[in-house]
Amino acid sequence: METEMVKFLFCWVLLWTAAFLAVRAVFPQRSYNLWNRIISTLHAVVAVALASLSIKDWTCPFCPLASSSSPAQMKTLGVTLAYLIYDLIFTVLYKHCTLDNALHHIVSIIGLGAGLAYQKCLWELVASLWITEISSPFLHARDILKEFGIRDTDLNLLMDVLFAVTFSVARMVGGPYIVYVTLTADNPFLIKAMALGLQFVSVFWFYKILKMVYYKLGRSRRRNTFTPHKTN
C-alpha cells in the first residue's frame, strides 16, 4: 500500500473520530449507541455517494472486471476502511465490542486492505460496498428513533419496511450477481472467498429480516384491530 494511501487513511480515521466527538458533544446525555448510529448513517450516505460517483459507465457499472484500480475507487474504499478502523477502536474503548462484530470488522478490514494492496478488482469491492451500505441508513434510523422515544408508530414501521426492501433487493438480487462475476473473473482467492462469504451472511440475515417483517406487520394489524374504544 502506497504512502499516500496510508496518509489518506490516517486523515480519514481522524475525521471519523472528530465527527463522533462532535456528535457526542451535541448529545452529551445520550447513549453511545445513538452517537455510533449517527456516524454509521453518515458513513453509509458518504460510501454510497462515493461508490456511485466512481462508476464510469452506468450501462455496465461493474466493467472492467479484475481491472487495475482508479483513484476514485481507491478513495472510496479508503474512506470505508478508515471508518471500519475508527469504529473497531471505539467499540473496544466503549466496551460495545462483541465477538461477531469484531470478526465482521476484522474480516472487512482485511478484505478492503487486500484490495487496496493488490490495486485490483476494486470495481467488485466498490459494487459490494454499494450493495451492503444502501440499506444501512434505514437500519440505523430504526434505532435512532427508539433512542428518541419514538416506538411502535407508522414511522417505525416505514423504516422497518424500507430497510427490509432495500436489503432484500440489494443483497438477494444484486448480491448473487456480484458474487458470480467475482468468482468467474481473474480475481485473487481472498477476494473470491470474501464475496462468497458475504453472500452466505446476506442469506442468513435475509431470513431473519423476513421473520422481523412478518412479526411487525402482524403486530401492526393486531394493534389496529384491537384499538380500545372510549366508554361512557
pLDDT for residue 232:
40
CB atoms within 10 A of CB 215: 11
Would you put residue 103 in left (φ > 0), alpha (ψ -120 to 50) or beta? alpha
How far apart CA 53 and CA 200 sit, in angstroms, is 28
The tens-digit pLDDT sequence of the chain (232 residues) is 578 888 999 999 999 999 999 999 999 999 999 999 999 999 999 999 999 888 776 666 666 665 667 788 889 999 999 999 999 999 999 888 787 778 778 878 887 887 788 776 677 788 888 888 999 999 999 999 999 999 888 898 899 889 888 988 888 888 888 888 888 877 777 777 777 877 887 788 788 778 877 776 676 666 666 555 444 4
* φ/ψ (deg, to 5) at 120: -140, 165
Contact 85, 106 (CB under 8 A): no
> Roughly what angle, to the nearest 10 degrees, separates helices 122-133 and 189-225?
10
pLDDT for residue 65:
62
How far apart CA 147 and CA 34 sit, in angstroms, is 7
CB atoms within 10 A of CB 115: 26
pLDDT for residue 228:
53
How far apart CA 214 and CA 220 sit, in angstroms, is 10
CB atoms within 10 A of CB 21: 11
